[in-house]
Structures are given as C-alpha cells and as structure tokens.
Amino acid sequence: MAVITKIQVQQRNKSRYNIFLNRGKGEEYAFSVDEDILIKRGLKKGMELNEESLIQLIDEDEKKKTYYLAINYLSYRMRSIEEMRVYLYKKEKDQRHIDEVIEELLEQGLLNDQEFAHAYIRSKQLTLMKGPLKLKQELLQKGVKDVVIDGALEQFQKKDQIHSIIKWLEKQKMRSNKLSNQAFIDKLSNQLQTKGFSREVINEALREVDMSNENEVEWESICFQGEKVKKKYAEKYSDWEFKQRVKQALYRKGFSLALIDRYLNETN
C-alpha cells in the first residue's frame, strides 16, 4: 500500500499535478495526472492507494493524454477518422486508448467523415484547380469510404467544373508558348486530366473558349519548332528525305500541312 505524501502543481502546465508517494521507504515522485483525474478520483494528501488503483490511475491519465493530443491535432483543421488513427498510432499511443478516444470524438461530433469530405471538397474548389477524380483519390488516401466521397462530390456539379475549367483556360491562353495551337490545347487538356477532370467535361469547356492562335503567333511557333527539328535531322538525310522528316515531325507537333509547306518553302 502506498500513501500520497504530496500533490504539487507542475510549473509548466498548471492543469497537471505531480503525485508523491511513500511506499515505506520515504517520499518519492511517482507519477503525474491531469486535473480532471485528480478531481474525479478525489486524490489528496494522506490517501492510500493499492497497486491496482495506481495502475488504473496511470492508464486513465494516458488515455487523457491521447485525447488532448487528438484535440490539438484537430485544432489546425478537420481530420478524417483514418488520419486521426494514423496520427495517434505514430505518436505511439496505446491501441485501446486510440480506439476509445476516436469513439469519444465521434460521439462529440468532432470527427465526422461525411462533414470532413464536404468541407475538403469545398475548400479545394475555392483554393486549388482540382477535379472530382483527383479529389476522390485524395479522400480515399485519407481513409474516407467510397460511398461517403461520392455523396460529398454531388456538390461539385458538372456546370461548376466547366466554369472552373473555362476560367483556368482563359488564364492559360494569355501565356506565351512556342507550341502549335493543337499541341498547346493537347497539353492543357492533359494537365486538366491530371488535375482530375473527365475528358467529357474538358471537351465541353474547350468548346466554350476560343483557344486558336493568331496567324502570326502560329507562324512564330512553327519557326521555333522547325529550327529545333532541322537541327536534329541536319546532315543525316538527303534533301528530299530531310524535308519529309521535318514535315512529319512538325505534323506530329500539331501544325497544319498548309503551314508546314509554307514554312519549308519560305525557310529553304
């Protein structure tokens, strides 16, 4: 049997108390507890504690530490259930405590994958150019269930996706590039697919935006690409084969045959 000889508030954390015990060999520091546990258990100087009570107190305090760790993690932003589980596991918390704390957070409404998925999608819609396929992939990685994600994605309607893409395309077409008009469109289309938009939605948005180059811009682009191609094939082929190689390369880069012929005629 141990006797509490002193209870001392910690200097750096006023909500925690150091407990000193005498087990028959004089006073010594034993453990610390949260203020809630101190009050709940009615701990006071002179109180006797058996080994079972000591183990229960320490276990209860460890669970309390796990709970506060979870609350702090939530203070920065909302989390999915799986994010919280992984975080607490990495902090080397007891699995039983992790399960119990997550259950408490669910009951308190502090963890809710449905609300988390809705908030995550709204946030990314406003701050980042991401489509539903990318958002679903990210939420799956955070442990959110497929059916929950699909329900949350209903808010990201097709018309909203098209509107976002149109705004993005308008910005992109103002940037200078050395690609053919078609190659530039293909590049942007591929980027949008990588961002998680479907080919169908991308094509609908592209039909709403005039992405065509002015003749002068397209001419500058073919001159730039043509010089690179010519250097690649220079001195490797006869005159006829050289022209065919250049012609094929520029065609693959999205330039029209009429423009390619003009380029070859004017730059020989």
DSSP string, 16-54: EEEEEEESSS-EEEEEEEEHHHHHHHT--TT-EE-HHHH
> Which residues are within 8 A (CB) of 34 and not within 5 positions of it... i.e. 6 or more apart?
15, 16, 61, 64, 65, 68
CATH number for 62-111 (one of 2.60.40.1180, 3.40.50.2300, 1.10.10.10, 1.10.10.60): it is 1.10.10.10
Q: Judge if 62-111 and 113-156 fold alike in CATH terms.
A: yes
Domain ranges of the chain: 1-49, 62-111, 113-156, 173-191+206-267
- The whole-angstrom separation of Cα 112 and Cα 105 is 9
pLDDT for position 215: 65
0.85 surpassed by pTM: no
Of 69-73, 78-82, 112-116, 163-167, the poorest mean pLDDT is in 163-167
First to last CA, the chain: 102
- The whole-angstrom separation of Cα 163 and Cα 201 is 10
CATH code of the domain occupying 113-156: 1.10.10
pLDDT for position 213: 66
pLDDT for position 131: 94
Token pair belonging to 188: 């942007």
- The whole-angstrom separation of Cα 28 and Cα 43 is 16
Backbone angles phi, psi at 3, to 5 degrees: -120, 135
**Helix 199-207 crosses helix 158-172 at what angle (to 10 degrees)?**
60
